Amino acid sequence: MAGIYVHVPFCHAKCAYCDFYSKPVHAADAEKYVIALINELAARRNELSESVKTVYIGGGTPSSLPARSLLRLMEALPSDGITEYTIEVNPEDVSHKFVDMLKKHTPVNRISMGVQSLRDDELRYIGRRHSAKQAIDAANIIKGAGFSLSLDLIYGLPGQTAGSWQFSLDSLLALTPEHLSCYLLSYEPGTRLNAMRLSGKVTEAPDSLAADMYDILTSATARAGYRHYEISNFALPGHEAVHNSSYWNLTPYLGLGPGAHSFGGHDRSYNPSDLKGYIEASGIGFAIKETETDAERFNDFIITSLRTTNGIDLERCRVLFGEDRQRLVSATAGQFVKSGIMWLADGKTGICEKHWLRSDSIMVEFIEV
Ligand code: SF4
């Protein structure tokens, strides 16, 4: 099985915390981008030897594309045999008309919407262009049309308290989305929010508050019946994201559009974040191959495995990377298991849920430099 990821490099405006590649949307650029993307797909389709089962249109904001361009893009993508077909949207773009269009004219069966908070003061602070009410209305429209719904939330926002986080989370769970992605805010270089942090206008949430918010998150989602299957991801039974799981399972995927990354099973490549260059090249010959060393492949395997509830499969580790590395991984995990930070069962080992928030400092003990 394989997947296709499409990066739509347009947004209505830049959110204060975001470092994803995107530009303001203009209809003429959007149309040229779609033409280039169709060319890129035709030129690179053979890079995937396995059948495509998932399509994920992300970005950026795919719902910011003019409807005509969005439909043209989706007509070019495969639709037969796709089990999970996701598009990312923002609440301000969701209307009955937009959702009806997706339902009647596209193979989309799953919608992922960025909500981030259900408090208007927090939304304004991070530069979101929608209100809490708009997000709730949009979620209800999507659910009412029968799509599987995934919602994104952020915790650790400037000014956010444990109480306001609990409010956003409870309000969001009341919408019964099939899937949730919840991220601790990170201050990325080059973002407005990071500039505000550096100039002292905002301060990062202290570790103790982030830990309290994480506890609120894991308790509330567990009570509501969600399975915490990856550091940032929660799903009602049977609704784990297949496409995103491919990244963690090292399943091949083809990434199209400026800023997209691809994984061929052994080799990786990426398209530079350069819309103008992508359009000028008409999507052809734009991808740059990355040469991955054995140590980098091993590190990828460790990091992606430790992000999930499945953990590291020690036998797979031996088959892929040899007995010496398997022994080293077992020994390192053993130390963490003794102190109750990791678990070991049925030939697998992983980080216990209550320690996922500090997973970076644990992973670092396994990876090779
Ligand atoms: S968070 Fe989403 S909508 Fe905001 S700038 Fe980033 S990609 Fe665009």
Interval 165-190 mean pLDDT: 97
Average pLDDT, the chain: 96
Say which amino acid occupies 110.
R
pLDDT at 273 over 90: yes
Contacts of 209 (CB under 8 A, 6+ apart): 156, 162
Ligand 1 lined by 114 (C-beta under 6 Å): yes
Interval 1-12 mean pLDDT: 95
pLDDT at 324: 96
d(CA 126, CA 116): 9
Ligand 1 lined by 20 (C-beta under 6 Å): yes
Q: Which run of H or of E encompasses 24?
A: strand 23-24
Q: Both tokens of residue 22? A: 């995107």
pLDDT at 49: 82
Residue-wise pLDDT for 68-117, tens only, equals 999 999 999 999 999 999 999 999 999 999 999 999 999 999 999 999 99
Strand 148-155 and strand 110-116: the pairing is parallel
Residue-wise pLDDT for 182-213, tens only, equals 999 999 999 999 999 999 999 999 999 999 99
pLDDT at 247: 80
Q: What Cα–Cα distance (Å) separates residue 325 from each residue in 56, 236, 298, 336?
A: 34, 35, 9, 17
Q: Whose CA is nearest to atom 7 of ligand 1?
A: 60
pLDDT at 154: 98
The DSSP secondary structure of 319-366, one letter per residue, reads HHH-HHHHHHHHHHHHHHHHTTSEEEETTEEEE-GGGGGGHHHHHTTT
pLDDT at 100: 98
Q: Which residue has the higher pLDDT, 139 or 247?
A: 139
Ligand 1 lined by 112 (C-beta under 6 Å): no
- pLDDT category at 227 given cuts 50, 70, 90 is very high
If you count them, how many residues does the chain have?
369
pLDDT at 51: 92
Instruction: State the closest ligand 1 atom to the C-alpha of 64, by its place in the atom list counted from 1.
Output: 3
pLDDT at 48: 87
Interval 220-231 mean pLDDT: 97
pLDDT at 50 over 90: no
d(CA 340, CA 352): 8
pLDDT at 321: 95
Cα three-residue angle 265-266-267, rounded to 5 degrees: 105
> Starting from the edge strand earliest in sequence, which strands make up the sheet with 342-345, in order?
312-313, 348-351, 342-345
Ligand 1 lined by 154 (C-beta under 6 Å): no
